[in-house]
Amino acid sequence: MMRTIPANAVTTVGTGGAAVWIDLFDPSTQEVAQVEADHGIKVPDLTALSEIESSSRLRVEGPTLYMSAPLLTGTDTPIWRSAPTGFILTPDVLVTVHYAPLPLFDTVEQEMAKTGDLTPALAFAVLLEAAVDRAADHLEHAADAVSQVARTIFSDEVAQAGLASETRMLRDTIRTIGRANDRASRVRYMFLSLGRIVTFACDRCDPRLPQPIIDRLSAVSHDIASLDEFEVSLAGRVQLLQDAATGLISIEQNDVVKVLTVASVVGIPPVLIAGIYGMNFKDMPELGWHYGYPYALVLCVLSAVVPYLWFKWRDWI
């Protein structure tokens, strides 16, 4: 699908007026050929957009800048996915290309409908500003999830729950922590790519971008730096909670093993005594005792109680 944003930006989608921003979403071969022929550029495919080396993500050919960054598709699903997105900035037009839906672009399109005298550089700056703002929203979602996990892990509800319930809750929190960590890492990767794009556009664009656009891009760079610090702090919280949840599960498992060990040790002496007196030898003197049976029962009890008291005295249980 191809949509063009004209310079007057009164009607956001259409072909009237000179195109300032052309957005290609999963374009057909004919659409790609048309844009390449009309503007003398090379539209990258999905494989090219997915390259990770800087030389493929950022390059300049004459007055045209080719840039790409992984943008997040949205936060409405448990698993967030990255959408490799290309930005082609020329003096006459901005072309974006992506192969996954980006609600961000729909929002920016509506904002541009209210903007007059739109230029390719201004459209580029607005897109980057919106991308950083959306990334901040993603971080807020991840931070909310981490805060909820912290309340769950350190709440009295977990401490008072039964073993099975507590293990189940901690297992769920570890899954939540893992998803939050994955989201934060994707956002950080997105910040890294957008920061490189901003620096590249300001340094390599020829003719040079107007000073108001450079100021807006500099503000974007500062926002990225501050949000990156927030993401680092969030990653530290995620690691702490992951260690805490894992540690609590290990403690519970150790308690179970300890109880089973004590039970097995306490049960060994009575079994030994019962085995001895169950052999029924002819010359076993206890067989003729009047109180032989009670004596054997008391001996079994004592053989179980004494190890238990020993464990208690040693503070092992």
For residue 137, the domain's CATH number is 3.30.460.20
For residues 134 and 102, membership in a common domain is answered with yes
Residues 262 and 200 in one domain: no
- The overall average pLDDT reported for the chain is 79
Q: Where are the beta strands (DSSP E) in the chain?
A: 2-6, 19-25, 58-61, 64-72, 82-89, 94-98
- Domain co-membership, 115 together with 237: yes
Q: Are residues 293 and 208 in the same domain?
A: no
pLDDT tens per residue, range 24-48: 988 888 888 988 998 889 998 888 8
Task: Please tell me the predicted confidence (pLDDT) of residue 291.
Answer: 78
244 and 283 fall within a common domain: no
Per residue in 165-217, pLDDT (tens digit) is: 667 777 777 888 877 778 788 888 888 888 899 989 888 887 788 888 889 99
Determine the structural domain holding residue 41 and report its residue range: 2-253
pLDDT classification of 255: cutoffs 50, 70, 90? confident
On the question of a cis peptide bond just before residue 212, with omega within 30 degrees of 0, the verdict is no
* Whether residue 165 is found in the same domain as residue 276: no
Residues 165 and 301 in one domain: no
**What pLDDT is attached to residue 9?**
36
Check residue 97 and give its pLDDT.
92
Same domain? For 219 and 79 the reply is yes
Q: What is the pTM of this model?
A: 0.69
- Pick the last residue of a domain from 253, 280, 305: 253
pLDDT digits (tens, 9 = 90+) for 43-74: 988 888 888 776 678 888 888 899 998 888 76
Share of the chain above pLDDT 70, in %: 82
Rounded CA-CA distance 222/143 in Å is: 21
- Which residues, in sequence order, are CB contacts of 76 under 8 Å at separation 6+? none
Average pLDDT over residues 209-237: 86
172 and 185 housed in the same domain:
yes
Is residue 13 over pLDDT 50? Answer: no
| pLDDT level of residue 10 (50, 70, 90 thresholds) | very low
Number of other CB atoms surrounding residue 60 within 10 Å: 16
User: Which of 222, 253, 284 is where one domain is finished?
Assistant: 253
Same domain? For 54 and 66 the reply is yes
Question: pLDDT digits over 140-152, tens only?
Answer: 888 888 888 787 7
Q: Structurally, how many domains does the chain consist of?
A: 2
Higher pLDDT, residue 307 or 130: 130
Of 253, 273, 303, the position where a domain reaches its end is 253
Residues 120 and 239 grouped into a single domain: yes
Do 209 and 261 lie in one domain? The reply is no
